[in-house]
Amino acid sequence: MSDDIGLRREAATAWLDTLAQTLDERDFNGVSRLVHPDGYWRDLLTFGWSFWNAHRPEAIARRLAQGFEGNPASAFRLQGEPFAGALGEHANTIEFFFTFDTPLAHGRGFARLVPDGADAGAPKACTVLTAMRELKAYPESIGRHRSRYATEALAATTSDFDPARDNPDVVVIGGGQSGLMAAARLQQLGVRTLVVDRSARLGDVWRRRYRGLKLHNELCMNHFPYMPFPENWPAYIPKDQVADWLEVYATCMGLHVALGTEFIGGNYDDEAGRWTVRLRQPDGTLRELKPSHLVMALGVSGLPNIPRIEGLDQFRGAVFHSSGESDALEVEGRSVLVVGVGTSAHDIAQSMHERGAEVTMLQRSAITVVSLEPSSTRPYELYRRNEGVRPIADTDLMAASVPYSYLRRLHGPLSRQMTEADKPLLDGLRQAGFLLDNDDDLGGYFIKLLQTQSGYYLNVGGSELIIEGKVKLKVSTGIARATEDSVVFDDGSTLRTDVIALATGYQPLQEAVRALLGDAVADRVGPIWGIGADHELQAMYARTAQPGFHVIGGGFAGARAYSTYTAMLIKAEIAGLLERQRLSAA
């Protein structure tokens, strides 16, 4: 075993030393010779204040040549002991963390080496990640850099508001997990940040959701920065526990949050480099602020997608969207139609059935169904395997080192393994008439999550209810119209119902920008979320085409891992470390 450790250390050190030498000599073709012919390099802010990735040695050499001179990296050092691993077709990898410096920042990286068939004695990198870890002049106020005293809270009401004292540098729109994580990151960098949320109480965005809602991935990957969940919490956290945690987190982090406050709108002054934003406070008064940056933190969900159904205004029963409240509804012995078959639709159908309702689900298109365990846990096995073994920041770095284009390749075979493991479940659903697309070779549910955050269900019991006929299934292209007590489907059939639950998803996040900031800003920002042509998430976490505007969201893990980069970008711009992005002439 000691010989294996020594060999791994020797290989990692030799590779890293050669990397440092070739970069110092600006020999980017030499760098490319350290990369496997099918290798990837991903960079987070180190070389050019952006997220980028490149595939294959020639493309990597070109990309480094473009960004290195303005941000030269040096002082590469192995961090910790290299360890054995595996990734995709590479059954034996040598994996290790390393550190480095640029003129402005301390960096951290992660690499995986694999044997090269042409030269068995010189392993090459199949993945390399370089990432900014800390701005040298502005380290986070944690550990030995922690503040000596607590920060003074921003004034919460107009009567207490002093523009000279209280104008924040950043306004975060949304007090859910993404907004609070972003605010916590910014605060540790000394950025005056105000979170605004329409709710009367932090966590209401979770409390108001349907009964039985819980996180569908495990606690091990959902921790918050600086303050992980308690060790004795359940693997799958229920919604009310998440809601209460948001309050606890904001209090313990000392975050400045304006509750019951609605973001009315804002305009950006390109010359001044500031926004003028308008807020409606709980007492109805308006407050104007002039931050340099806005962060939209509405998750990935955005605005509810409410379909237009002819005659719905005449329906005498209850109608609600999955984003709204439904626990107070009396449904025992009543007929409930759930429109949709995604995650929320299944959860609502299961909850309504358990409360004594006669439930029918309307399926309009095929989706991917995966068992919660073991199949759905496979995409985040890295977090399960490293829980309690290494800091979650290390695991985040390891996960980030696999670019999305490579992730799609890896998830093709993984999805087929899940489909095979779930064959009895999927066969039962097909026999019940349920439409599935598990056989589509698109990378499975996890790639759908990265593309649209929709079109899949992680089964927590809803599928069995459909298979056993306890929840009925109606397959149709949609609802043609509603009457006082029924719905008429596109195929002409009719269903009498007392309640209509619209589990119809959400509008694209770009439409949330449009609603908040107008057409010009929304069109400039463009699509948000989904893997773009550059193989990175579109307009998420990084700078957008609108100066002074960032978007943060996704799941807990994504918001935790990438909020640190968003915060450093904003701090760097406020501190004058990079030129403010200007509007194009167009």
Domain of 346, in residue numbers: 312-502
Give domain status of residue 584, yes or no.
Answer: no
Say yes or no: 52 and 161 in one domain.
no
Tell the residue number behind the tokens 């590779």, with chain if given: 15
CA distance 380 to 33: 31
The length of the chain in residues reads 586
- Looking at the structure of the chain, the number of domains it has is 3
- Does 247 lie in the same domain as 173? yes
Q: What is the token pair recorded at 138?
A: 């502005």
**CB atoms inside a 10 Å sphere around CB 110:** 22
Assign residue 86 the CATH number of its domain: 3.10.450.50
For residues 359 and 498, state if they share a domain: yes
d(CA 40, CA 354): 49
Distance of CA 522 to the CA centre of its chain: 20
| Cα–Cα distance, 344 to 330 (Å, whole number) | 19
- Closest Cα partner for 552 from 534, 528, 580? 528
* Distant-in-sequence, close-in-space partners of 262: CB < 8 Å, separation ≥ 6: 196, 198, 279, 280
Three-state secondary structure readout of 274-320: EEEEEEECCCCCEEEECCCEEEECCCCCCCECCCCCECHHHCCCEEE
Residue pLDDT tens, the chain, 586 long: 356 889 999 999 999 999 999 999 999 999 999 999 999 999 999 998 999 999 999 999 999 999 998 899 999 999 999 999 999 999 999 999 999 999 999 999 999 999 987 666 689 999 999 999 999 999 998 888 887 776 665 655 545 656 556 789 999 999 999 999 999 999 999 999 999 999 999 999 899 887 778 899 999 999 999 999 999 999 999 999 999 999 999 999 999 999 999 999 999 999 999 999 999 999 999 999 999 999 999 876 678 999 999 999 999 999 999 988 888 899 999 999 999 999 999 999 999 999 999 999 999 999 999 999 999 999 999 999 999 999 999 999 999 999 999 999 999 899 999 999 999 999 999 999 999 999 776 678 999 989 888 899 999 999 999 999 999 999 998 999 999 999 999 999 999 999 999 999 999 999 999 999 999 999 999 999 999 999 999 999 999 999 999 999 989 999 999 999 999 999 999 999 986 433 332 3
User: By the 8 A CB rule, do 43 and 51 touch?
Assistant: yes
User: What is 345-399 written as a DSSP string?
Assistant: HHHHHHHHHHTT-EEEEEE-S-BEEEETTTGGGGGGHHHHHHTTTS-HHHHHHHH
Same domain, 177 and 295: yes
Q: Which residues contact 197 (CB under 8 A, 6 or more apart)?
A: 174, 175, 176, 179, 205, 257, 258, 259, 261
The radius of gyration of the chain's CA atoms, rounded to the nearest angstrom, is 25
- Report the alpha-carbon distance of residue 521 to residue 526 in Å, rounded: 9
Same domain, 286 and 212: yes
Q: Are residues 382 and 435 in the same domain?
A: yes
Looking at the structure, tell me whether residues 86 and 219 fall in a common domain: no
Domain C-terminal end among 449, 483, 502: 502
Residue 327 and residue 445 in one domain: yes
- On the 0-12 / 13-18 / 19+ scale of CB atoms within 10 A, 263 is buried
Q: Which H or E run includes 339?
A: strand 335-339
Residue 17 lies in a domain: yes
- CATH number where 321 lies: 3.50.50.60
Residues 339 and 470 in one domain: yes
| Domain end residue (candidates: 102, 135, 168) | 135
Residue 580 counted as domain residue:
no
Stated pTM of the model: 0.93
Last residue of a domain, one of 502, 518, 534: 502
Is residue 482 a contact partner of residue 310, using CB atoms and an 8 Å limit? yes
- 150 assigned to some structural domain: no
- 326 and 208 share a domain? no
Q: Are residues 346 and 493 in the same domain?
A: yes
- Separation between Cα atoms, residue 296 and residue 288, nearest integer Å: 17
Q: Which residues contact 184 (CB under 8 A, 6 or more apart)?
A: 224, 225, 226, 249, 253, 255, 563
Query: In what helix (H) or strand (E) does residue 499 lie, and over which residues does it extend?
Result: strand 499-502
419 and 465 in a single domain? The answer is: yes
**Measured between alpha carbons, how far is 19 from 149 in angstroms, rounded to an integer?**
43
